[in-house]
Chain A
Amino acid sequence: MISDDSKAISEKIKVAAAEKRALRIRGGGTKDFYGNEPQGELLDTRGHAGIVAYEPTELVITACCGTLLADLHEVLAKQGQFLPFEPPGFGSAATLGGCVATGLSGPRRASAGSVRDFVLGAKLVDGRGQLLAFGGQVMKNVAGYDVARLLAGSLGTLGLILEVSLKVLPRPPAEMTLCMELPQAKAIESLNRWAARPLPLSASAWRDGELRLRLSGAESALRAATQALGGEAMAPDAAAKFWTGVREQTDEFFAGEAPLWRLSLPSNAPVQELPGEQLLEWGGALRWLKSSAEAGALRAAAARAGGHATLFRAREKTAGAFTPLPPALARLHRELKNSFDPAGILNPRRLYAEF
């Protein structure tokens, strides 16, 4: 069942643009913490919900922005399929629109790809209230610039994502998790070495001297990989609970008041000697850091290592949630923002203070 709220959404945006009134686009509100502080009048997307099309043999699902992620997971699971990028919900109210707008991917990201990798098409309402459609429901499509993928991670600053088509995949037939003790440097080295071999790794997490590896695939592949990797197999329930904890940040590592930083680095970047506790994911390419260290110092360290640092969760974000852009890219960002939202009313300053 589709509940179509597109006309009302488009009308609200048109009026707000005419009155230069800022709008804060929001689905279930589970990711209000992400990015800079939301500003403006609430524009709730949950009235536009439902699955528009799902054809398991096409490996494509199309759904409205207000559709609950939980509902999508359920519909896909019935056909033995899933969203390979394993998006975090950060709460049961999470919607598809928020998932794509934040562009956040879960533990499977390093092996399967990110949200944007699976976006095939999107409908959006831009800052003028125009309904626009880009991409489509097919795997290969190079007609026009890839605006649908550009929306992933744009935090609603280019338009309200109304509808998204995603590539989906069959769920792997079997899964198991191995646990082993390794110091961080050795874990980073091993993860990179293993990633260069055809092993069915689907997730990794290191914390406090313990490395966990999730394997997904055919039973035969898992058996062979277990022999190659070593370690102790975790009980399936405990393993499932562990990966949910990492994905949803309900794991005890994420508890406490210290600011949570997300360092996105080349996977083989050496151990980052920074004040605070760390949890590594994505084969070494993602490093969570709980630290009260100064933002400039952390961003400089991430840049030296070839990546960037996001202030993910914190009580105050005066340092800006995201790493500032070099001037040439900052100019392109402003121009793009202006192309989609000339009145500057959609989620202003959520991504960068300049717009």
Chain B
Amino acid sequence: MPERSVLWQEEDTRPYECDGLTAYRRVPMVVALPESEAQVQRILATCHALGVPVVPRGAGTGLSGGALPPGDGVLLSLAKFMRVLRLDPVARVAVLQPGVRNAAISDIAAPFGLYYAPDPSSQIACSIGGNVAENSGGVHCLKYGLTVHNVLRVRGYTIEGEAVDFGSEALDAPGYDLLALAIGSEGLLAVTTEVTVKLLPEPETAQVIMASFDDVEKAGDAVAAVIAAGIVPAGLEMMDKPATQAVEQYVHAGYDLEAAAILLCESDGSAAEVEDEIARMKAVLAAAGATRLAVSRDEAERLRFWSGRKAAFPAMGRISPDYYCMDGTIPKKRLGEVLNFIGAMEKKYGLRCPNVFHAGDGNLHPLILFDANDPAELKRTEDFAAEVLEKCIEVGGTITGEHGVGVEKIDQMCVQFGGAELEIFHAIKRAFDPKGLLNPGKAVPALARCAEFGRMHVHGGKLNRPELPRF
């Protein structure tokens, strides 16, 4: 390894103590910053031979602690893998090193009228390697899909140092769909060193409607009405009043501050299509009880409407010392019920919780405002979040839509899955990493941990693994 590519002094390793979820911190023993696949291969093979844990890290923007370092192992940063290896405007693919930023992909594709569709809010900072690890979404998923729908191939190395290619530049590959398995695997199966993404033609034009509602549940019903009308919006987002008020002070997006909730509903396509669709959307939203409808008049205004939504998280940082972002997904029809539940939890725990919501695909991001310097408040926040996530499971949803399980939601995995499913996850992990050295302790809880947590999901009244101790 070249000089300055291995860090072990605490002043150098301290910056790597956490990712975007700052509540969990651990200073790594060693940080490795390889520059080539050969170096990655050697690091992995060496760690494997020595039995040393390895945690891969991209841009460190993850929100579930997936890149929390090992205290006794190597934090493998892919930050130096920043090159665009190939951009083929004819085949509409880009081959990227994992450290390339999400937003940079669309920037380099723009001269060809192409772009990369998934656009997580952190897109100016997050990297494609991390997007692959988390199966990141964004605000345009309903129409354009998640990372798994927009990546053709992932090249990486197993912990043993063996090169593996999942998927191909064709639309499928022989055998099992290991690409689908690798995407969203939170760095537990292989270390990504190359990603081939699909580029899409930029829509000719786009417009967004900002619709105001005097009641959150009405806004939720309006979402269902849009879908029922046979419309698939390019983006469909909801923010409640506490969220718009926090955001407005920060970016001046022009939101209706009187509304109990606003919807952002976007149409894209040819000029004629957009005109037609916006008219239909407006009619549906008005019929659903919108109190005000504003259509973006130009691209600048469209981007301004979106800027508020994309700045929702940092805006919370301005009104509260800390915020805790949740990521449950629910069936859309249960929205009113879940929002009422969150309201009750605000009272129960004495904490504020503005809501932003990828309404089109049912993905909630309640943001609990708290002060991490107050240990009692942090504890209340965690309990609040756990109750909301379990409510998501109860209504038929999931504990994480796009941020991953990491270390944060590992206990809720015991609620979402039964012991038999968790055993299968562990078997999959063993198929790729028999010694369990790659990103250990993340994403999939050990069965003993679930037993300790005392919330093992019980199938049909029968307890899985009754031999495990419980306390």
Contact = CB atoms under 8 A, between A and B. Distances in A.
B382 interface: no
A103 B413 CA distance: 28
A336 B91 contact: no
Q: Which of B163, B224, B421, B430 has the most CB of A within 10 A?
A: B421
Given A220-B275, A221-B272, 19 more contacts: A57-B332, A57-B333, A113-B145, A138-B401, A142-B402, A143-B416, A144-B413, A144-B444, A150-B176, A152-B177, A170-B227, A170-B232, A195-B201, A198-B204, A217-B269, A218-B272, A267-B91, A268-B88, A351-B175
B389 to A, nearest CB: 10
A144 B419 CA distance: 13
Contacts of A144: 405, 413, 416-417, 421, 425, 443-444
A59 B227 contact: yes
Nearest to B137: A140
Interface of B: 88-93, 112-114, 134-135, 137, 141-142, 145-146, 148-149, 158, 162-165, 168-178, 180-181, 183-185, 189, 201-204, 224-225, 227-228, 230-232, 269-270, 272-273, 275-277, 329-333, 358, 360-363, 396-405, 409, 413, 416-418, 420-421, 424-425, 427-428, 430-432, 443-444, 459
Interface string A308-331: 101000000000001111101100
A192 interface: yes
B404 to A, nearest CB: 6
A134 interface: yes
Interface string A11-51: 00000000000000000000000000000000000000000
A150 B170 contact: no
A335 B175 contact: no
A117 B149 contact: yes
A91 to B, nearest CB: 23
Contact of B171 (A197, A285, A351): A285
11 contacts: A114-B172, A139-B362, A144-B443, A144-B444, A195-B92, A198-B201, A224-B272, A325-B175, A328-B162, A336-B431, A339-B424
A264 interface: yes
A-B interface, 7 closest residue pairs, ranked by CB to CB distance from nearest: A335-B431, A339-B427, A220-B272, A140-B401, A139-B361, A149-B180, A307-B170
A80 B425 contact: no
Contacts of A324: 174
Contacts of A332: 164, 178, 431-432
Contacts of A333: 175-176
B142 A139 contact: yes
Contacts of A265: 170
Contacts of A171: 230
Given A138-B397, A145-B184, A110 B361 contact: no
B90 A137 contact: no
Interface stretch (A125-133, A204-212, A229-237, A243-251): A125-133
Contacts of A133: 418, 421
Interface residues of A, number: 83
Interface in A145-172: 145-147, 149-150, 152-154, 158, 169-171
Contacts of B165: 326, 329
Q: Which of A59, A139, A340 has the most CB of B within 10 A?
A: A139
B409 to A, nearest CB: 7
Q: Which of A57, A80, A126 has the most CB of B within 10 A?
A: A57
Given A140-B141, A145-B181, A352-B175, A339 B428 contact: yes
Contact of A196 (B114, B184, B397): B114
Given A224-B272, A322-B174, A332-B178, A138 B432 contact: no
Contacts of A199: 201
Given A137-B331, A170-B231, A143 B400 contact: yes
Nearest to B426: A339
A140 B91 contact: no
Contacts of B113: 196-197
A140 B362 contact: yes
A58 interface: yes
A329 B332 CA distance: 39
Given A173-B230, A221-B270, A329-B164, A142 B134 contact: yes
Contacts of B363: 138-140
B163 A328 contact: yes
Contacts of B203: 198
A150 B273 contact: no
A276 interface: no
Interface string A47-65: 0000000011111100000
Nearest to B226: A57
Contacts of A307: 168-170
Nearest to A310: B174
